Amino acid sequence: MPNIVVVGAGVSGLTCAYLLSKQKENVITIIAKHMPGDYDIEYTSPIAGANLLPMSTEKNSSWERRTWKELRRLAVEVPETGIHLQKSRVYRREKDLDVLRKGGYNFDSLYLENPWYQSLFDDFRELSKEELPEGMASGCEFGSVCINVMLYLPWLVAQCRKNGVVLRRGVLKHISEASRRSHTGGKADVVINTTGLMASKLGGVMDQNVIPIRGQVVVVRNEAPYMLTKSGTDDADDEVCYVMTRAAGGGTVLGGTYSKGQWESQPDPNQAMRIMRRVVEMMPEITGGKGVEGFDIIRHAVGLRPYRNGGVRIEKEKIEDTWVVHNYGHAGWGYQGSYGCAQDVVTLVGEVLNRPKL
């Protein structure tokens, strides 16, 4: 029986453990410093919105394409996941057109004209001129999903437990320690490294290409009629504008910021005010025309997106005498790529264990 230890209980670790646990022969332990229910600046997953707005290039779109299929199925068929379908509007500002036509920034392909993902969503359509707010050159609309991460992460834990996965707390100094942390007492055949941003500090990995992209948000009780984002803001290069209402009373997330290399864990009140103002300008109906004062705030929050120069790392590596399969560095798309990435991890584990290809 292959012994597998997954390090990390964010969306990446839990999705990997869940998919691996569907293969009945696998014996799986999850070891993590933080678990669903915790809030900590080293733990990104509970802070995410989270929705699916494609950011990859067409060449790298396989992770998002595969994940969209599964998240849509969960939204339609499995309400207890806390995922629902919601319309999404993506606006391209007139003043960003030059940059966008040179390849875009911030959210990569999201704002491109004629994006590859128009064929992904059945209901994708370009917005008419009459539907565009002032200053927008164009925009598109499509039905996507919004995940209430407070419900979804525990749902993943529940699926893992149902399939026999054992979860334990543990703080590793070196990735090689994981091979001795199986709940069976035996040595692990494979270790899965899903430590997110902390892959930059974990012994044996110490990936200096991994840096934070700080994201500040305001969570409010007001409901948004649709999700919204636009290609830039006038406030600063690292400030962005987006809105999404989570399923099942999860609140509405107003964003945000996108500050590369910043580790600051505390919300900045000035940024919070600008976030709310930008949203009200784009969607006055969210506060019934009452402006920023009409927001009913649940909390302010900060998360650090685990960005990796060179892109996500999904590969196998022998460290000391143990095979490690890495899956970290998902920046701002960890949920929307979660199933595609975890499927690749399952394939790599199969290679390590010399299993026939699926």
Nearer to ligand FAD, 97 or 297 (CB): 297
Beta bridge partners of 325: 192, 316
Amino acid present at 308: R
Whether the link from the prior residue into 256 is cis, omega within 30° of 0, is yes
Comparing CA positions, the residue from 316, 337, 346 lying closest to residue 22 is 346
Beta bridge partners of 13: none
**Is 44 assigned a ligand-binding role in the annotation?**
yes
Q: Least separation, in Å, of the C-beta of 37 and ligand FAD?
A: 11
Only one residue has tokens 């996941």, namely: 81
Q: Least separation, in Å, of the C-beta of 11 and ligand FAD?
A: 5
Dihedral-angle region of residue 307 (phi above 0 means left; psi in -120 to 50 means alpha; beta otherwise): beta
Nearer to ligand FAD, 95 or 169 (CB): 169
Q: Least separation, in Å, of the C-beta of 335 and ligand FAD?
A: 3
Q: Least separation, in Å, of the C-beta of 266 and ligand FAD?
A: 14
Nearer to ligand FAD, 32 or 314 (CB): 32
Nearer to ligand FAD, 175 or 293 (CB): 175
**Is 21 assigned a ligand-binding role in the annotation?**
no
Nearer to ligand FAD, 94 or 263 (CB): 263
**Is 246 assigned a ligand-binding role in the annotation?**
no
**Is 332 assigned a ligand-binding role in the annotation?**
yes
**Local structure of 350: helix, strand or coil:** helix
Question: Which strand (E) or helix (H) includes residue 63?
Answer: helix 62-77
Q: Least separation, in Å, of the C-beta of 187 and ligand FAD?
A: 18
Residue 133: both structure tokens together: 């707010």
Whether the link from the prior residue into 50 is cis, omega within 30° of 0, is yes
Is the separation of the CB atoms in 192 and 73 below 8 Å? Answer: no
**Is 305 assigned a ligand-binding role in the annotation?**
yes
Task: Could you list the beta-strand ranges (E) of 99-209.
Answer: 125-126, 136-147, 166-169, 190-193
For ligand FAD, the binding residues (CB under 6 A) are: 7-13, 31-34, 43-45, 47-51, 170-172, 194-198, 202, 215, 217, 256, 303, 305-306, 328, 330, 332-336
Question: Which strand (E) or helix (H) includes residue 275?
Answer: helix 269-282
Sign of the Cα pseudo-torsion (176, 181, 187, 192, in order)? negative
**Local structure of 8: helix, strand or coil:** coil
Q: Least separation, in Å, of the C-beta of 211 and ligand FAD?
A: 13
Nearer to ligand FAD, 66 or 330 (CB): 330
- Residues within the annotated binding site for FAD? 44-45, 195
- Residues within the annotated binding site? 44-45, 195, 305, 332
